Structure 1
Amino acid sequence: MKPRLPTIKDVADRAGCGIATVSRVLNQKGPASADTREKVLAAANDLGFEFNALGRSLQSSSTKTIGCVVPSLANPVFADVVQAAQQEANAAGYQLILACSEYDDELETSAIRTLLAKRVDGLIATVNSAENSLGLGLLRSNGLPCSLVYNRKVMGLPTWAVDNGAAAARVAQAFACEGHRNTGFLALRFNRSDRSRERHQGYAKACRDSGMAPPVLLEIEEQDGNLLELLGALLSEHRFLTGIFASNDFLALAAMKAARDLGLRIPDDLSLIGFDGISTGLIVDPNLATIETDPRAMGRGAVQTVLAEISGDEKPAQPDPAQTFRFRPGGTLGPPPAGRMDDREAATSLSSTA
């Protein structure tokens, strides 16, 4: 037979006081002498009584939870965002409820609907496409405190983000300074990420402004874990490219492995630049040239913004997106191969000898 759990009345009887007094002590609200508080806490401890946080939350219309929606945890950037957000929430007495959209619009909307149904007090999110996200529309119509992470500002929602266009222009500058002309932009799930599209747009414009050839868009859709195989096929097809800008570091590191499997040397035969600045890029050889961001600061800041809106306090100042990144030089960037034909028509002859 399942043992009966102790109740608040049991605590009151053990402490020799009323139920209302026990409630005030456990809620930490209302008057109670030090002696009474000590007796109540001792009684609760002796009985193994756990105060019902759900009941307390229903009375106060607060669940002490914050929702978090990110595309994936496979990319270490989002894992860092979530970890920092959880630490910040926990420090304030809140729990984080996580959902991953898998870069799928329907899953994203469903996750936000579910979190709203669970009555979270606020939500932080990186959505696939902020400008036409149904989920963000739901948040706005419900008036739920919300902060975006890495998305551009839309619907008046606060955001902790990076100026993707400016960051991508810095990458183009780095390639141009090394003498590259024919480069590509490598993207995974390009049609499902507004961040990736913004980086491509900024990079293409900067290439044009610097006299480089328009970058080749190397779009890839990973299927059944065959990313390296798909990357290898793309690199073989575009051997005339001397440099590749990957939309994130995870993809840049995968491209490095695929290039080596084809016998290409990095950076002698092919230069690579990533985006995000994950720590793994510093321990590979050669280390990864990349745009470095601070996902942990993004996660902390987003939660602080939501908590401030919940409590009515002044929100923390969001940083200028143009100041939230820096170019990190690395060994994967070098000059183009000597004697490489500086013409896209070289693709045919190079492919035929591959």
Structure 2
Amino acid sequence: MKFIRIILFPIVPIYYIITWLRNWCYDNNLLKSKSYDVPIICVGNLSTGGTGKTPMIEYLIALLQKKNSIATLSRGYKRSTEGFVMADENATATIIGDEPFQFFNKFESITVAVDSDRKHGISQLLKTVVPPNVILLDDAFQHRKVKAGMNILLTSYSNPYFNDFVLPTGNLREPMSGRKRANIVVVTKCKIGIAENEKERIRKRLKLKPHQSVFFSFIEYATIVIGLKSNLELEELPKFTLVTGIANAKPLVEFLVNKGLTFDHIEYPDHHNFRASEIEMLSQRELIITTEKDFMRLSCNESLQDNLYYLPIKLSIDKGDKFNNLVRSFVG
């Protein structure tokens, strides 16, 4: 894969020019973005994935849900349906996608919808009997037909956008200049206790304007794993199989290794649709630990329900009070 990316390097300038030109047309009103009266917060990134958008969306839901009627709008990657779909009692990960299904299962008071056309999806949400007064757009930083009131741009500590190239050699969906559209930049998946001089070094390399705020976040892992029928203490787990279908499993693997746990790791691509043969193979494992996103897809298989558990995670933000106030102030 790395070799293929290297030999495709001559295509990088072409991709760069096309994406830069598209942004220039939006910036200069040659292509139109639609604004809305309802507060819309877009969570996205410049890269192709693995920056922690799902934990950020959940953080925002938890922050705002007590005083607001919230809707999340995602494209529903790898779902079996098309067009606008709003989650209901019949929703599954197959119908709306694993991440939206995770939101739907975790937060009872919110509306969860999917539509690859965010503009159309917003219009449909605003036509509902009780329309939301806050809409969270998941992974929509490049969907410029919609002009969000607040853009939260995520970039990972291990692979920040200033160390990357655009596709196909790198992982950036658009040039680094796209960062200027962000109101807030969050460096995600940082090491706990990151030093102030390291933060300052990163701030300088992000090359942001004075009006753009920068925050650093890290993932907190739970002390238990959760299944459909029981919970288990993490540190008391016997040898198990770790199953991941996410963009970057390295932080999770490192966490489990540092805990001194013994496990085999079966790694699949992000948003992997598990085949019947793979489910059959996994059903032979005595204990499976997975991510919450993967659990949404795997737990519907009856053969796995007795031995399948997920490890919950939570996003924590350095100087979180300042971040929370910025978001609350925008929502009003």
Normalised by the size of structure 2, how large is the TM-score? 0.40
Determine which structure has greater relative contact order: mean sequence separation of CA pairs < 8 Å that are 6+ residues apart, divided by chain length.
Answer: 2
Greater C-alpha Rg: 1
Q: Choose between structure 1 and 2: higher helix proportion.
A: 1
Q: Choose between structure 1 and 2: higher strand proportion.
A: 2
